[in-house]
Amino acid sequence: MKEIKLECSTNLNDSPMLENPVYEFESNYRFTSKYSRWRKVVHEASVTVLLLYDRIALIPSSCEGTRIVDALKKLIGLESDKIIPSAQSAAVGKNGTVSDYVDKFISLLSNFDADGNFGLYGFFAYELIDMKLGVCAADMPIGIFFLPEIMSVNHGPVFRYSMAGARESEPKFGEWLTSKDGIFFDLSKFAKGESGVYEHLYDFSQNDIKSRKIISINPSFTVSKSTAISSYEIYERLKSANAAPYNFYMSYQGCDVVGSSPAMFMRVKSSRVETSPICGTIARGKSEEEDVIKINKLLESEKDDYELSECIRCDIEAKKISCEQIDVVKKKEIEKFANVFHTSSHITGILQPGRTIGNVIEDHVWPSTIVGSPIAAAARIIAESEVRNWYGGAFGYISINNEIDLGTMIRCAAVYKGIATIRVGSTITKYSRPEFDRDELYRKASLILGVL
């Protein structure tokens, strides 16, 4: 029996105006059959869940959150966090696998009795893969998620989750100040990450490709720009300028992440696992006639076809570990966005009996299109050269009924103290030319630079 029963109320006449949410996730893209339109907004969170290398920390941000954390403490044996004063934590074994970690994290939801919209909303950082590689970077979180308290779905009514039997005399909306205890790591460093010198990585990568240590690699670099525009306004402008399957906004202690991503990481529903490797880029034309020419050029590109084929191969190999009935629904199709065309594929599988959500996430961390191949070898080179934090991670939700929708965090920026940091990458293969790859990087960065 699930011990924490959450009632869902839509009687919010006493709530304040719900602007600038802590989390928003929206698809306003239907160019291909893979995607539909939807929207999920967490206006206020009850609990912030920080994923750390040695523990999972739960920080209440409201009276409701305090009740939830207290209830979980009794159920699963949480202990007071040694670093974050207001947090309760669950220890994680230092030698555990990604699947063990993710399954333990998701198991928090098994304690709740709530409707299907309740879940964990946030993102896994790119450095989740470091756990898989046995590399530790313990000064930064490998994920930040929220349990919703006030949220809305698909422009419908705003509703609130509250524990059954809550006392009417307790504080109402807005009377509880969000705790700042969660700021225990360097938010400026988290926003900026670290980058190697792109030209050096390019030459280094080409040497490894020629010696056949790797087939491809996807290094990244950053562009920073000061801005007076609010993070949420940047997000709204991105949605307006570029319809995309994964628009996302998240605000954490003054460090915000915004994006308009073309790339799926993973969807899971009723044991059906979906992915969509996306690779191959060309700038849009200035007319419909030019667009047709650009599309044909992209479809005929030997370099782009090679890159996408390699991403498909890596994805299928990942699915063979934890899935059955693997099907390449679409081998190659065109995706149209505001400033570029991409080629993508669509691959599905059925989760094998006995395999878990943690297993399938570990098997697919991360897509070849943002790492390279072989993934483990390319990821080690990246780990020695870069710290990505939010870039290349997976943003979305895991619902109480184990439905998952996660987009890959590209075409995005972190905004902290008026500085927007944009990180972009491109795939380097034996067909690459530095001048062309550099142009591709700036085309990708131009989307966000154009709305700042």
pLDDT for the residue numbered 167 = 53
- How far apart CA 116 and CA 399 sit, in angstroms, is 6
Sort residue 250 into left (φ over 0), alpha (ψ -120 to 50) or beta.
Answer: beta
pLDDT for the residue numbered 446 = 81
CB under 8 Å to 151, separation ≥6 — which residues? 40, 41, 42, 43, 117, 158, 159, 161
Q: And the tokens for 160?
A: 């609130």
What domains can you pick out in the chain, each with its CATH number? 10-185 (no CATH), 188-449 (3.60.120.10)
8 A C-beta contact, residue 370 and residue 425: yes
pLDDT for the residue numbered 125 = 97
pLDDT for the residue numbered 437 = 62
Closest of 214, 367, 218, 215 to residue 278, by C-alpha: 367
| C-alpha separations of 154 from 24, 239, 333 in Å | 11, 15, 28
Closest of 404, 270, 271, 275 to residue 327, by C-alpha: 275
Q: And the tokens for 205?
A: 């990568």
The count of other CB atoms within 10 Å of the CB of residue 174 is 12
Pairing of strands 255-261, 112-113: unpaired
8 A C-beta contact, residue 220 and residue 388: yes
CB under 8 Å to 230, separation ≥6 — which residues? 20
Q: Determine which helix (DSSP H) or strand (DSSP E) holds 446, and give its type and residue range.
A: helix 434-449
8 A C-beta contact, residue 262 and residue 278: yes
Please tell me the pTM assigned to this model: 0.92
State the first-to-last Cα distance of the chain, in angstroms, to the nearest integer. 50
| C-alpha separations of 283 from 183, 262, 436, 439, 442 in Å | 40, 14, 12, 10, 11
pLDDT for the residue numbered 176 = 40
> ∠301-306-308 over CA atoms, to 5°?
95
pLDDT for the residue numbered 137 = 64
Q: Per-residue pLDDT for the chain (452 aa), expressed as one digit of tens each?
A: 568 999 988 866 545 456 789 999 999 998 888 999 999 999 999 999 999 999 999 999 999 999 999 999 999 999 999 899 889 999 997 778 999 999 999 999 999 999 999 999 999 999 999 999 988 766 899 999 999 999 999 988 899 999 987 554 454 433 344 445 557 889 999 999 988 766 677 676 777 777 778 888 888 888 899 999 999 999 999 999 989 999 999 999 999 999 999 999 999 999 999 999 998 889 899 999 999 999 999 999 998 898 899 999 999 999 999 999 999 999 999 999 988 899 999 999 999 999 999 999 999 999 988 999 899 999 998 898 889 999 999 999 999 998 999 999 999 999 999 999 999 887 887 877 665 566 667 777 788 888 88
| DSSP-assigned beta bridge partners for residue 39 | 26
- How far apart CA 20 and CA 43 sit, in angstroms, is 7
pLDDT for the residue numbered 179 = 46
